[in-house]
């Protein structure tokens, strides 16, 4: 069981305004920690209030996207904890991932929304989704709606690798950790 402490300020019943959203904090006290194996000189993941781990591999120099704008990005995903299987990758293909930040219904998994919202065009960001938080930050367990928000694996092998990790009840949470590299290429107006 995941120990999660949450504090939320509600502006009005059932709604969270931007100032209240900024006050929301979530701390996963039992999540696996990839920073525990760092070597001297390695950059550490920063942990966001949602529990998402973020590492800026390359700082972008372009504009930062705003809610409601459409972003264009390349991504590469891996099942970090279980055999490091590649989920998929858009580099070198014509299949860039395009979504509108803050859209309803959601076009991207929550981890991508959060990661991209803080990037600048040209930047590369690595995110790690702890297995303990996969349902909240990544893909739903319910297969009927699992791929309703992207990124979606294009290949059968990618879907099988991701489905195996998400559906396997015998894996420990640290073996369900997902790792994504995201490159923000453009913002469409």
135 upstream amide cis, omega within 30 of 0: no
Q: Are strands 4-7 and 46-47 parallel, antiparallel or unpaired?
A: unpaired
Question: What is the residue extent of each domain of the chain?
Answer: 1-30, 36-188
Lowest mean pLDDT among 11-20, 72-81, 146-155: 11-20
H helix or E strand, kind and range, residue 166: helix 156-167
Q: Give me the pLDDT at residue 17, please.
A: 35
- Share the mean pLDDT of the chain: 81
151 upstream amide cis, omega within 30 of 0: yes
Q: Is the pLDDT of residue 154 over 60?
A: yes
Q: Is residue 37 very low, low, confident or very high in pLDDT (cuts 50, 70, 90)?
A: low
More confident residue, 40 or 31: 40
What number is the average pLDDT over the span 116-124? 97
Which residues lie below 8 Å from residue 14, measured CB to CB, with a gap of 6+?
none
Q: Is residue 1 very low, low, confident or very high in pLDDT (cuts 50, 70, 90)?
A: very low
Q: Is residue 32 very low, low, confident or very high in pLDDT (cuts 50, 70, 90)?
A: low
Q: Is residue 43 very low, low, confident or very high in pLDDT (cuts 50, 70, 90)?
A: confident
How far is Cα 15 from Cα 13, in angstroms, rounded to an integer? 6
59-117 pLDDT, tens per residue? 999 999 999 999 999 999 998 876 778 899 998 788 899 999 999 889 999 999 999 99
What number is the average pLDDT over the span 163-176? 85
CATH-assigned architecture of domain 36-188: Roll (3.10)
pTM, entire model: 0.79
Q: Is residue 174 very low, low, confident or very high in pLDDT (cuts 50, 70, 90)?
A: confident
Residues 82 and 75: beta-carbon distance below 8 Å:
no
């Amino acid at each position: 069981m995941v120990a999660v402490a949450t504090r939320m300020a509600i502006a009005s019943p059932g709604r969270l305004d931007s100032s209240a959203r900024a006050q929301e904090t979530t701390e996963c006290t039992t999540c696996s920690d990839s920073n525990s194996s760092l070597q001297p000189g390695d950059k550490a993941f920063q942990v966001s209030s949602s529990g998402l781990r973020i590492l800026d591999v390359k700082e972008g120099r372009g504009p930062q996207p705003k809610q409601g704008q459409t972003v264009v990005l390349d991504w590469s995903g891996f099942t970090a904890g279980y055999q490091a299987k590649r989920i998929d990758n858009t580099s070198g293909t014509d299949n860039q991932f395009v979504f509108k930040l803050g859209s309803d219904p959601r076009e991207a998994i929550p981890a991508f929304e959060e990661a991209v919202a803080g990037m600048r065009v040209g930047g590369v960001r690595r995110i790690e989704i702890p297995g303990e938080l996969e349902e909240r930050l990544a893909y739903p367990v319910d297969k009927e709606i699992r791929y309703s928000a992207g990124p979606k694996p294009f290949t059968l092998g990618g879907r099988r690798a991701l489905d195996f990790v998400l559906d396997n009840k015998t894996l420990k949470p640290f073996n369900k950790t997902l790792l994504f590299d995201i490159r923000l290429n453009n913002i469409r107006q």
